[in-house]
Amino acid sequence: MKRYALILALVMALAAGFGCAKKTQTTEPAYDDGGNAELRAAIEQITDARVYFAFDKFNIQPEYKDMLKTKAELLKKYSSIRVRIEGNCDERGTQEYNLALGERRARASYEYLVNLGVNPSQLEMISYGKENPAVQGRGEAAWSKNRRDDFRVISQ
């Protein structure tokens, strides 16, 4: 019984640490590339591709490793770019569970990029849990698109 109370307290503390995710998103990029076409192309490569996850998993699947390597090379080349990794989940599960799972997903991409040589100061993480779906609807077709990491350039 004490074990369950400890686990519950840990989950609640973790959820309280994340707070509520803001749902506001801008349609304009949060950066100014100064007209540099090469930098603009790099930013598009960094932000366009997502990492998707299997149900209830947070490990990086092999098909996303080359894409993350490309992101890492671009981040090392353009060391002024800062990226927010946004962990997301499908609608199943509690809010607290999904916030924790989204954080583990964001951390998996973060750690993979850092292991490839990206400066940790260029990266930050946030979990939106199930609050920021890419696709509305129910069923595996929608859920599989919502279990993801998004990459947002927050400064350059």
By C-alpha distance, which of 25, 107, 115 is closest to 75? 115
Among 75, 68, 89, smallest CA distance to 18 is for: 89
pLDDT at 36: 86
Among all chains, which residue has been given the structure tokens 């930098």?
39
CA nearest to 30, candidates 124, 143, 144: 124
What is the token pair recorded at 86?
Answer: 């946004």
pLDDT above 90 covers what percent of the chain? 74
What is residue 26's predicted lDDT score, i.e. its pLDDT?
Answer: 43
The pLDDT value given to residue 63: 97
Q: What is the mean pLDDT of the chain?
A: 85
Q: How confident is the model at residue 127 (pLDDT cuts 50, 70, 90)?
A: very high
What the block records as the tokens of 98 is 């999904």
| Helix or strand run (H / E) with residue 136 | none
Residue-wise pLDDT tens digits, 46-101: 999 999 999 999 999 999 999 999 999 999 999 999 999 999 999 999 999 999 99
Query: Of 152, 150, 153, 71, which is closest to residue 105 (Cα–Cα)?
Result: 150
Domains in the chain: boundaries? 2-155
Q: Is the pLDDT of residue 23 over 70?
A: no
Rounded (10°) angle between helices 2-18 and 95-115? 70
Per-residue pLDDT at 156: 83
- Of 114, 133, 125, 121, nearest in space to 152 by CA: 125
Residue 25 clears pLDDT 50, i.e. is over it: no
3-class secondary-structure state, position 108: helix
Where does 2-155 sit in CATH, by number?
A: 3.30.1330.60
For the chain, count helices (H), then strands (E): 5, 4
